[in-house]
Amino acid sequence: MRRFLVAAALLFAVAARADIAINAGGPAVTGYLSDRNYSGGGAWTYGGLPGVYNTERWTNGTFNYNIPVTPGQLRVTLLFRESCGDCSSIYGGPNIENVYINGTQVLSNFTLALNQQFSGVYVVDNPTATLNIRVTAVQGEAYVNAIEVVQLSSASPVPTVSISASPTSVANGGTTTLTWSSTDATSCTASGAWSGAKALAGSEASAALTADSTFTLACAGAGGTATTSTTVTVAIARVEFDSLDRLHGFGRLVGSVAGRRHGQFRAADGNYHLHAHLFGRRRVHQHERHCHDCFDAANATDGELERKSHQHRERRQFDADLEFQQREQLLRK
């Protein structure tokens, strides 16, 4: 029978290699490395049996192998030989085990007759740099004599890409500096607020921005495509109105602050127009309903804003004169 002494859990690591063969529970033999990359279980040597079948890693519970590999498609071969002559009498039946590769069960209630050998071969798509083999006892003892891993193909790593903007908020007409980098990519393409082929890493200034802008970058490689983006906001110029007289009419344009109580700032599809209240009773300037007086305050120059202010002063005076005439007509009646 095997010794009922569970070895302390050990984990030995080796550098990743395309092909690896491990003599479970034993030293290096022809074509196989000494036991490594395991945790749990114990080593057992029979003596007198050929090659890798003279030793095994075994347990009454569970042990694992975590073998460093190159990501990609692997062929995994597990070698077994039932050599425990008295296990059936000890446990009241044959040794039975389950085996999992990367969490997928490949052997269920597996058992062998005494001195019978078995080689299980499994093709595995392994996207990570570690191959996990887990062996669990169902009845009696679980064991494995050797493990062989052959790299069938290498999986190309998936590209990564990052991008940032500085600053992330600019005034109307301002620019930002975009900085980006990528890994495992062979080309990068910009879209959104910029366009064209870009270097795999770099930095460049944007064009003048007049609206919130999203800069997207997609970098492609053998392992696929990675996409990311960053958004830069544009501060919108605003208009403030002062009440200059008892008509609560339009006043001066002072920029960057919303309208006060007697004037308003209204946005529709990015355009801005102005209106006022006359004597606090009714809205005047019917032109606003047809947006004759709309203008883009975000992109207006100081001169345009000043001219707009002058136009509103003239219209204010016109409406005041009209209101005065109407009042005079009412008084004459």
Q: Please, which residues have CB within 8 angstroms of residue 321's CB and are 6 or more apart in sequence?
A: none
The span from the CA of 258 to the CA of 89, in Å, is 91
State how far the Cα of 136 lies from the Cα of 62, in Å rounded to an integer: 4
**Which has more confidence, 159 or 14?**
159
Could you please state the CATH topology (level 3) that the domain comprising 20-154 is classified under. Answer: Jelly Rolls (2.60.120)
Kindly state the tokens that stand for 174: 């301002």
Query: In 141-193, which residue ranges form alpha helices assigned H by DSSP?
Result: none
**What distance in Å separates the CA atoms of residue 286 and residue 119, rounded to the nearest whole number?**
91
Residue percentage of the chain with pLDDT more than 90: 59
Higher pLDDT, 5 or 142: 142
Segment 302-328 shows an average pLDDT of 71
More confident residue, 274 or 206: 206
**Residue 180 backbone phi and psi in degrees, to 5:** -145, 160
Q: Do 80 and 112 touch, CB atoms closer than 8 A?
A: yes
- DSSP letter at 290 equals G
pLDDT at 307 over 70: yes
142 closest CA partner among 66, 51, 53, 63: 63
Cα–Cα distance, 270 to 139 (Å, whole number): 75
Bigger pLDDT: 186 vs 305: 186
What residue has token string 């970098």? 219
Give pLDDT, residue 318: 72
Please identify which residue in the block is written with the tokens 């500085």: 166
- Greater pLDDT, 277 or 184: 184
Cα(116)–Cα(45) distance, integer angstroms: 17
Q: How many DSSP H helices and E strands does the chain contain? A: 2, 23
Q: Could you read off the pLDDT of 244-287 as tens digits, one per residue?
A: 333 333 333 333 333 333 333 433 334 444 443 333 333 333 33
Report which of residues 290 and 298 the model is more confident about: 298
Position with higher pLDDT, 240 vs 186 = 186
Domain 160-235 has CATH 3.40.50.2000: no
Average pLDDT, the chain: 79
Which tens digit of pLDDT belongs to each residue from 88-129? 999 999 999 999 999 999 999 999 999 999 999 999 999 889
Run of H or E residues at 214: strand 213-221
Looking at the chain, which residues constitute the CATH 2.60.120.430 domain(s)? 20-154
Which pLDDT band, with edges at 50, 70 and 90, does 294 fall under? low
Residue partners of 275: CB distance under 8 A and separation at least 6: 263, 264, 266, 283, 284, 285, 288
What is the pLDDT, as a whole number, of residue 246? 34
Model pLDDT for residues 122-146, shown as the tens digit of each residue: 999 998 899 999 999 999 999 999 9
How far apart are alpha carbons 181 and 201 in whole angstroms? 4
Where do you find CATH 2.60.40.10 in the chain? 160-235
Q: Look at the block and give the residue holding tokens 């544009």.
A: 234
Q: What is the pLDDT of residues 31-49, one digit of tens each?
A: 999 999 999 999 999 988 9
Strand-pair category, 169-171 with 224-235: parallel
Query: Do 122 and 65 meet the contact criterion of CB atoms below 8 Å apart?
Result: no
Confidence band (pLDDT; 50, 70, 90) for 305? low
Spell out the residues 6+ positions from residue 102 whose beta carbon is closer than 8 angstroms to its own.
124, 126, 131, 132
Task: Give mean pLDDT, residues 235-248.
Answer: 46
Name the DSSP letter for residue 207. Answer: P
> What is the pLDDT confidence band of residue 321, given thresholds at 50, 70 and 90?
confident
Structure tokens at 55: 């030793």
Answer yes or no: is pLDDT of 175 > 70: yes
Q: Is the pLDDT of residue 155 over 90?
A: no
Beta strands in 4-71 (DSSP E): 20-23, 38-39, 42-45, 55-59, 62-68
Token pair, residue 228, equals: 């990311």
Question: What would the mean pLDDT of 316-331 be, rounded to a whole number?
Answer: 72
